[in-house]
Structure 1
Amino acid sequence: MYGNVAHNIYAQNNVGIESPAKLIEMLYEGVLRFNAQAKKAIKDGDIEKRVYWINRSVAVITELIAVLDMKGGRVAQYLEGLYNYEIQLLNEANLKKDESRLDEVSNVFKGLLEAWRETTNVAK
């Protein structure tokens, strides 16, 4: 359900995506952007926006799970577990209005984004 939503959002906004690698980078960036918006909503006490932005992050992470190549071995399995854990943290952040859980997810995705950029730049 969420996966198609995330893909459609990015596809609509970025019709000329260069490559699947670029799409993954944009999805990671989306999680960071949506988490920042959710954190602001928590600070502002805006329940509707908090739920909206956290759900957007969950949708993106769900899409990341959907595109994993499970034939890729342990890395794909690790990422699947990591992504599911991040979704759990986002749900807890939503229920408990907990900015620290949002920060934890954002820190993980900052690291993933940096590693992804390094990996895809080397591959080019």
Structure 2
Amino acid sequence: MTAARAYSTYSQNNVQIESPEKLIEMLYEGVLRFCSQAKKAIENNDIEKRVYWINRAIAIFSELIVSLDPDRGGEIAYYLEGLYVQQIKFLNECNINNDVKSLEIVMNVTKELLEAWREEISHEMA
């Protein structure tokens, strides 16, 4: 599944999204959900499901990279692009080495991103 098609499917399934800001939040939540499923698959030694869930998380990070606008986001966009690329590398390491540590790094970074995003949005709305 290509990143664009994954994004399209994800957004079609969530038609009632209020804003682009909400979509970003949902994408971060999706990464966390897919990584959690991949972790369960690793624990169950289910290679097929591990690959499936990790690839779904990679598709989200790929879409997040494509959605970055350096003209509007400046240095933050460049920073996020590098961070997202690094998460994809960790996810690929997890897939290759069946490595929970790499997966946990991605989950921790994504939790921090989600928390920072929610905080930024709440400040903008205040």
TM-score between the two structures when normalised by the length of structure 2: 0.95
Q: Summarize deviations over 1:87-111 as a string: whole Å, max 9, x none.
A: 0000000000000100000000000
Which piece of structure 1 moves more, 100-109 or 10-19? 10-19
Give the whole-Å Cα distance in 2 for the aligned partners of 1:115 and 1:100.
23
Runs of 5+ consecutive residues of structure 1 not aligned to the other structure: none
Residue of structure 1 equivalent to 2:4: 4
SS of residue paired to 1:73: helix
Q: Which residue of 2 aligns with 1:26?
A: 26
**Counterparts of 2:124 and 2:118, CA distance in 1:** 10
Q: Which amino acid aligns with 1:21?
A: E
Q: Give the count of matched residue pairs.
A: 124
Map residues 12-51 of structure 1 onto 2, 5 A cutoff.
Answer: 12-51=12-51
Counting aligned pairs with the same residue, the percent is 60
**Equivalent residues in 2 for 1:83-98 (5 A)?**
83-98=84-99
Shift of 1:12: 2.1
Structure 2 counterpart of 1:81: 82
**What is the TM-score of this pair, normalised by structure 1?**
0.96
Compute the RMSD of aligned alpha carbons.
Answer: 1.0
Structure 2: where are the runs of 5+ without partners?
none
**Contact 1:50-1:94 within 8 A present in 2 as well:** yes
Cα distance in 2, alignment partners of residues 58 and 9 from structure 1: 15
SS of structure 2 residue aligned to 1:83: helix
CA distance in 2, matches of 1:86, 1:31: 10
Indicate conservation of the 8 Å contact 1:2/1:63, yes or no: no
CA distance in 2 between counterparts of 1:25 and 1:6 reads 16
